[in-house]
């Protein structure tokens, strides 16, 4: 894995990534193949992704989570079967939008009523598929498609992002908590937006389908003497919660597709087999993260305890994980956005969850990201003294 994705690797991204290029041709972090250009963009983006910056925005993130918990109150009371994927996807886009643009993306239509969440999903799907086709996005954006009025999700997404940048430039932002666009602008780089995500669906599935895990996790979370929502710093003091999150990321990567690289001039040796230079190769996180040589004979089993043993062993396993859009210098800078800790901790403290069909827990369509749907669940409120921001516990019990 390090030979392809590690620091100082000579393997560059394949041309498949060109399908993620912006319509204006400006380089962005995902599409560019040039390591030097990528490094320059990454340096300019880095300040916006520092944990100190993200913690200053934790209140906005908590507001999104509070809306999620409030929206689950009604089905929890009347026993309605819900698609948990809809709720988790919505809160994911809301948090991303709140941190990046200062407004939610999942629960609003977006600029002039357009379905921004749907457009972004279409963008990922189209770019992933057409990356394998000769001409790539030419088939979506050419004189004929423009004449016929075919909507190009790449163009629509770019136009919306450009509009938000212009609004930030033109508005008086004094006294407003900076979002990521403000940080990008301060470093003179507003050509793209972060390609981060939260793996909340996998976290919900992993916890709710393992009774022993959820019992142990609840004991740890309930022991926190507070009826306020757990903060990120508080979650970092809960070893079993951290183990559950690590195991969720290992078992259920949000980017299961291979991340293609071009074998360098020196070739690539794998188990005494020499792969010639110029060959396009990749590794799937599903294979890497379930390798029995690394994670043991129970590598296909959800087992948080594997992270609770010797600290050196935990560091070894952590180094072998392949998630959050990759590893090494080309990895996604949004890894610190993984507030999965807050989601899982608050979810198990507030609600009981039951899968309606354990034999078919949810559906997955994989393009670049794994897109889950149809996780049918029943939820029930736990009798715990928890509250939403600004509300007393008694109003909810």
* Binding site as annotated, residues for heme: 332
Helices and strands: H and E segment counts in the chain: 17, 10
Please state at what angle helix 153-170 crosses helix 116-130, rounded to 10 degrees. Answer: 130
Asked whether 102 and 63 are in contact (CB, 8 A), the reply is no
Residue 348 token pair: 């198990």
Give every CB contact of residue 147 below 8 A, 6+ residues apart in sequence. Answer: none
Q: Determine the straight-line distance between the first and last CA of the chain, rounded to whole angstroms.
A: 50
Alpha-carbon distance of 75 to 15, in angstroms, equals 46
Q: Which residues pair with 281 in a beta bridge?
A: 261
Residue 256 token pair: 């299961």
CA angle 383, 107, 103 (to 5 degrees): 105
Asked whether 352 and 215 are in contact (CB, 8 A), the reply is no
CB count in 10 Å sphere of residue 270: 10
Asked whether 340 and 204 are in contact (CB, 8 A), the reply is no
DSSP string over 264-327: -TT-EEETTEEEPTT-EE---HHHHTT-HHHH-TTTTS--GGGGSS-HHHHHHHHHH---TT-S
CB count in 10 Å sphere of residue 331: 16
């Amino acid at each position: 894995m390090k030979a392809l994705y590690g620091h100082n690797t000579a393997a560059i991204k394949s041309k498949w990534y060109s399908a993620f290029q912006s319509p204006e041709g400006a380089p962005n972090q995902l599409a560019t193949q040039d390591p030097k250009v990528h490094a320059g963009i990454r340096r300019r983006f880095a300040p916006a992704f520092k944990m100190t910056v993200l913690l200053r925005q934790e209140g906005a993130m908590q507001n999104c989570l509070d809306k999620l918990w409030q929206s689950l109150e009604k089905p929890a009371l009347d026993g309605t079967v819900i698609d948990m994927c809809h709720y988790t996807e919505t809160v994911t886009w809301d948090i991303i939008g709140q941190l990046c643009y200062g407004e939610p993306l999942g629960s609003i239509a977006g600029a002039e009523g357009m379905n921004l969440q749907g457009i972004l999903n279409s963008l990922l799907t189209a770019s992933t598929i057409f990356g394998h086709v000769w001409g790539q996005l030419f088939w979506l954006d050419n004189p004929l498609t423009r004449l016929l009025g075919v909507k190009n999700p790449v163009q629509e997404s770019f136009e919306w992002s450009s509009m938000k940048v212009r609004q930030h430039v033109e508005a008086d932002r004094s006294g407003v908590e900076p979002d990521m666009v403000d940080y990008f602008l301060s470093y003179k780089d507003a050509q793209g937006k972060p390609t981060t995500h939260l793996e909340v669906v996998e976290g919900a599935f992993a916890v709710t389908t393992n009774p022993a895990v959820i019992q142990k996790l609840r004991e740890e979370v309930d022991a926190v003497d507070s009826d306020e929502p757990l903060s990120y710093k508080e979650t970092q003091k809960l070893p079993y919660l951290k183990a559950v999150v690590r195991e969720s990321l290992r078992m259920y990567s949000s980017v299961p597709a291979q991340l293609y690289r071009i074998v360098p001039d020196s070739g690539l040796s794998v188990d005494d087999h020499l792969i010639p230079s110029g060959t396009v190769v990749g590794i799937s996180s599903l294979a890497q993260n379930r390798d029995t040589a690394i994670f043991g004979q129970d590598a296909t089993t959800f087992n948080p305890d594997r992270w609770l043993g010797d600290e050196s062993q935990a560091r070894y396993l952590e180094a072998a994980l392949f998630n959050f859009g990759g590893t090494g210098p080309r990895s996604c800078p949004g890894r610190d956005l993984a507030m999965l800790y807050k989601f899982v901790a608050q979810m198990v403290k507030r609600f009981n969850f039951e899968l309606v069909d354990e034999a078919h827990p949810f559906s997955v369509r994989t393009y670049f990201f794994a897109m889950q749907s149809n996780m049918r669940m029943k939820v029930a409120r736990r009798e715990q003294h928890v509250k939403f921001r600004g509300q007393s516990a008694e109003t909810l019990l």
